[in-house]
């Protein structure tokens, strides 16, 4: 079972074409040999026709090729007619996607007016109650028949009207039925989508694409890999296009890093036909990041055949950190084994940041590159390893993109029976001019994040970012986004949409102001209940819009406090954190080394 032809050589996955609207009149074709399509989503109330049209035009102006609009009720879905009419009257023919959760009737109405309907298999025909139930095979089959009865009318309507479908599974909203049969797993996400795909195919409908979104980049990567591998197993006519996205990525550097790890890793493996970068920011900013991220793929991928077999030196479908011995980097810090993945800096960076480091700082260099006993090798050549406890890395100047080079290094070590700890680098060849900070961030995140998701790496070195403090902090931020270390508060924040019951950007800023000093605490900030309870399953606390101007607070996936006035909700969240022993008073506010810049 495989999801791409080779872990070393880029080859874009071949898919069938999916038509979203009429390509001769502003529509797009997803898949085939067509470029990856960029999309985003409106943040306003769907009933506000004028503002919906305005936001759509703003997105199109910056290069958005598909615009998604939420339709939480039949009334909202019916108003899509007015939005589309207004756009067409203004000469805008961008395809519109209706985002549907919970309401099959809303999907049926929306299909009359828009080019694509997105449905979520987790809640299209089910309501999530976190119920525990054992299903017999007969009971499970009966549930599938019930789903078929609810979904088939939409399939037929899309077929009649020439619409497209997106079968979009979200990690945070798997149905109780799937959870009880498969658990909260990538396999559960894949099977949830395939159940709906089989219904579409049984009706002769093939104009659809898949998505497998999660707020955890590692989970998201595993899900997409498994999906494509399952499609390959099912046969060549299951070659449907893929939409990539990390849901609830957040804002600023953190949102960009998470998106780059998840989306960038898969793009570099040849997967993905359309992408959305989900940021808790104004939607046009998402397209900027899409453009920058897509531009990195040719630079970060290998297109030349290698004289190697194309075995995978890691398990692509189940994360497991590569087993290595524990070694000393210096007299104070160890790596490998069960140790944390360490952040290494160059001597030049250390000299600049060392005078600013305070004793209690978590963001600080853990080793100096030039002082390490590190074996540097060219994985394209034969090499020997005399000691398994020596740190090893790819030497600078190797004529391979970094991801391929380190994967090949692991494959060569495996053949030698060597388990040496590995130092990852974000680049092997320095560009002639310094990289812009936004590009350096994306490249480092894609390269190092991709390898960490493969289970590779015991220490990391970021050199593409020219700023000393910024490069140090970027290393720590990548480790946190990849789920390898936790040195600060972790936020899961959804992008806004028409379902959102409060101003996400403003509220996220308020929550961060009160809680950003909490180390190792994960807080979910959700505009509504669509993904809230599920995506918060691995968060410590959740802040969720329950009704207009009312907030529900969660501990894990359990709702604890309901209908709190929005004006009080942030402080009540703080009280909840205190009640559960996770609160610490902030120390004197001093800007940490390499503090994140506005992006």
How far, in Å, CA of 266 to CA of 36, rounded?
A: 12
8 A C-beta contact, residue 222 and residue 212: no
Instruction: Locate the DSSP E strands across 3-110.
Output: 18-20, 28-30, 37-41, 66-70, 96-100
Domain 18-300 has CATH 3.90.1010.10: no
Task: Say what the pLDDT of residue 126 is.
Answer: 77
Least reliable range by pLDDT among 122-136, 244-258, 387-401:
122-136
Q: What is the pLDDT of residue 490?
A: 84
Note the pLDDT tens digit of each residue in 216-234: 999 999 999 999 999 999 9
Domain positions in the chain: 18-300, 327-481, 490-579
Please state whether beta strands 374-377 and 367-368 pair in parallel, antiparallel, or not at all (unpaired): unpaired
> Both tokens of residue 50?
């004028």
Q: What is the pLDDT of residues 322-332, one digit of tens each?
A: 999 999 999 99
Q: Environment class of residue 139 by beta-carbon count within 10 Å: exposed (0-12), middle (13-18) or buried (19+)?
A: exposed
Average pLDDT of the segment spanning 537-547: 82
Neighbours of 396 (CB within 10 A): 12
Which pLDDT belongs to residue 587? 75
* pLDDT for res 127: 66
The pLDDT of 20-41, averaged and rounded, is: 96
Closest CA to 260 of 274, 270, 275: 275
How high is the pLDDT of residue 11? 95
* pLDDT at 285 > cutoff 60: yes
Instruction: Please name which of 4, 441, 384 lies closest in space to residue 257, comparing C-alpha atoms.
Output: 441
Q: How confident is the model at residue 533 (pLDDT cuts 50, 70, 90)?
A: low
- Fold of the CATH domain 490-579: Sulfite Reductase Hemoprotein; domain 1 (3.30.413)
Q: Are 583 and 574 in contact (CB under 8 A)?
A: yes
CA distances to 14, 19, 28, 168 from 32, rounded to whole Å, are 6, 11, 12, 20
Q: Work out the average pLDDT over 135-160.
A: 94
Cα–chain-centroid distance for residue 532? 16
First to last CA, the chain: 40
Please report the pLDDT score of residue 461 as a whole number.
Answer: 98
Residues 6+ apart with CB under 8 A from 443: 296, 299, 300, 426, 427, 435, 464
Give 131's pLDDT tier (boundaries 50, 70, 90): low
For the segment 373-400, what is each residue's pLDDT rounded down to a tens digit?
999 999 999 999 989 999 999 999 999 9
Question: How far is Cα 332 from Cα 372, in angstroms, rounded to an integer?
Answer: 13
pLDDT at 589: 47
Say whether pLDDT at 537 is over 90.
no
User: In the predicted model, is pLDDT for residue 336 greater than 80?
Assistant: yes
3-state secondary structure of 90: coil
Does 593 score more than 60 pLDDT?
no
**Matching residue, tokens 């007015």:** 82
pTM of this prediction exceeds 0.75: yes
pLDDT score for 172: 77
Mean pLDDT of the chain: 92
Domains 18-300 and 490-579 share a fold: no
Distance CA 151, CA 195 (A): 11
pLDDT recorded at residue 242 = 98
Separation of alpha carbons 347 and 353, rounded Å? 10
Residue 20 has pLDDT above 70, yes or no: yes
Instruction: Quote the CA–CA distance of 573 and 466 in Å, as a whole number.
Output: 38
Give me the mean pLDDT over the 134-161 stretch.
Answer: 93
- Min mean pLDDT across 156-160, 408-412, 513-517 is at 513-517
Token pair 């809640």 is found at: 123
The SS3 of residue 323 is coil
- Per-residue pLDDT band for 588 (boundaries 50, 70, 90) equals low
Higher pLDDT, 10 or 173: 10
- The 10s digit of each residue's pLDDT in 446-473 is 999 999 999 999 999 999 999 999 999 9
pLDDT of residue 595: 41
- Location of structure tokens 């040195």: 487
Residue 598 has pLDDT above 70, yes or no: no
Whether residue 538 is predicted with pLDDT greater than 80 in this model: the reply is: no
Band (529; pLDDT cuts 50, 70, 90): low
How many CB atoms are closer than 10 A to CB 91? 8
Helix and strand tally (H, E) in the chain? Answer: 17, 23
Torsion of CA 464, 466, 469, 475, to 10 degrees: -10
- Taking the C-alpha atoms of residue 199 and residue 178, their distance in angstroms, rounded to an integer, is 17
Predicted pLDDT at 547: 81
In angstroms, rounded to a whole number, what is the distance separating the alpha carbons of residues 564 and 549? 8
pLDDT recorded at residue 525: 87
Residue 489 is predicted with a pLDDT of 86
Determine the average pLDDT of the residues in 320-343: 96
Mean pLDDT calculated for residue range 557-561: 84
Q: Which whole number is the average pLDDT over 110-118? A: 98
pLDDT of residue 169: 93
Backbone angles phi, psi at 488, to 5 degrees: -155, 175
Q: Classify 475 in phi/psi space as left (phi over 0), alpha (psi -120 to 50) or beta.
A: alpha
The helix (run of H) or strand (run of E) holding residue 526 is strand 522-526
- In sequence order, the β-bridge partners of residue 524 are 492, 542
Q: Which pLDDT does position 530 carry in this prediction?
A: 60
Under DSSP, the state recorded for 36 is P
Torsion of CA 161, 167, 173, 174, to 10 degrees: 120
According to the model, what pLDDT value does residue 591 have?
Answer: 46
Tens digits of residue pLDDT in 417-433: 999 999 999 999 999 89
Q: What distance in Å separates the CA atoms of residue 464 and residue 500, rounded to the nearest whole number?
A: 37
pLDDT of residue 596: 41
Cα angle: 441, vertex 442, 445; to 5 degrees: 85
Confidence band for 508, pLDDT divided at 50, 70 and 90:
confident
Kindly state the DSSP code that residue 485 receives in the 8-state scheme: -
pLDDT of residue 505: 83
Condensed to tens digits (0 to 9), the pLDDT of residues 176-213 reads 888 888 988 899 999 999 999 999 999 999 999 999 99
Helices (H), 384-467: 402-416, 437-453
Going across the sheet that includes 541-547, the strands are 490-493, 522-526, 541-547, 550-555, 558-565
């Amino acid at each position: 079972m495989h999801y791409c032809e080779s872990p070393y050589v880029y080859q874009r996955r071949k898919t069938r074409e999916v038509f979203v609207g009429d390509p001769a009149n502003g529509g797009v074709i997803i898949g085939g040999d067509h470029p990856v399509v960029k999309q985003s989503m409106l943040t306003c109330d769907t009933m506000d026709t004028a503002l919906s049209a305005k936001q759509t035009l703003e997105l199109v102006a910056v290069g958005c090729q598909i615009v998604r609009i939420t339709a939480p009720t039949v009334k909202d879905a019916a108003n899509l007619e007015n939005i589309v009419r207004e756009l067409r009257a203004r000469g805008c023919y961008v395809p519109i996607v209706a985002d549907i959760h919970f309401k099959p009737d809303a999907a049926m109405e929306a299909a009359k007016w828009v080019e694509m309907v997105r449905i979520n298999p987790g809640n299209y025909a089910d309501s999530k109650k976190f119920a525990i139930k054992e299903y017999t095979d007969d009971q499970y089959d009966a549930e599938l028949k019930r789903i078929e009865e609810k979904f088939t009318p939409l399939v037929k309507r899309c077929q009649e009207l020439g619409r497209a479908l997106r079968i979009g599974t979200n990690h945070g909203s798997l149905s109780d039925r799937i959870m009880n049969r498969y658990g909260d797993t990538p396999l559960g996400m894949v099977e949830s989508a395939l159940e709906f795909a089989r219904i579409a195919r049984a009706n002769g409908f093939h104009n659809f694409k898949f998505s497998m979104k999660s707020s955890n980049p590692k989970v998201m990567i595993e899900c997409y890999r498994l999906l494509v591998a399952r499609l390959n197993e099912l046969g060549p006519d299951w070659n449907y296009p893929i939409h990539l996205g990390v849901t609830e990525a957040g804002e600023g550097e953190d949102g960009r890093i998470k998106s780059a790890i998840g989306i960038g890793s898969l793009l570099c493996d040849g997967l993905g036909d359309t992408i959305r970068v989900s940021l808790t920011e104004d939607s046009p900013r998402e397209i900027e990041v899409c453009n920058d991220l897509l531009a990195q793929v040719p630079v970060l991928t290998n297109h030349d055949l290698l004289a190697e077999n194309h075995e995978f030196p890691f398990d692509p479908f189940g994360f497991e950190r590569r087993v290595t011995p524990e070694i000393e980097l210096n007299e104070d810090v160890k790596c490998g084994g069960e140790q944390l993945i360490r952040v290494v800096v160059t001597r030049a960076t250390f000299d600049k940041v060392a005078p600013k480091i305070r004793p209690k700082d978590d963001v600080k260099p853990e080793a100096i590159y030039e002082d390490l006993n590190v074996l540097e090798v060219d994985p394209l050549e034969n090499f020997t390893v005399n000691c398994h406890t020596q740190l090893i890395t790819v030497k600078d100047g190797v004529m391979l993109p970094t991801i391929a080079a380190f994967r090949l290094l692991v494959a060569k070590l495996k053949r030698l029976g060597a388990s040496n700890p590995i130092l990852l680098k974000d680049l092997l060849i320095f560009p002639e001019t310094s990289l812009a900070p936004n590009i350096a961030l994306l490249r480092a995140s894609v390269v190092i994040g991709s390898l960490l998701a493969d289970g590779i790496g015991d220490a990391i070195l970021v050199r593409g970012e020219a700023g000393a403090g910024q490069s140090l902090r970027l290393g720590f931020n990548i480790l946190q986004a990849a789920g390898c270390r936790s040195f600060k508060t972790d936020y899961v924040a959804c992008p806004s949409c028409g379902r959102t019951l409060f101003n996400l950007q403003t509220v996220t800023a308020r929550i961060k102001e009160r809680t950003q000093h909490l180390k190792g605490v994960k807080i979910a900030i959700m505009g509504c209940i669509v993904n809230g309870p599920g995506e918060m399953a691995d968060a410590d606390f959740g802040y969720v819009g329950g009704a207009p101007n009312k907030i529900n607070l969660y501990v894990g996936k359990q709702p604890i406090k309901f209908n709190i006035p929005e004006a009080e909700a942030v402080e009540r969240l703080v009280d909840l954190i205190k009640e559960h022993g996770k609160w610490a008073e902030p120390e004197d506010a001093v800007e940490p080394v390499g503090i994140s810049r506005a992006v």
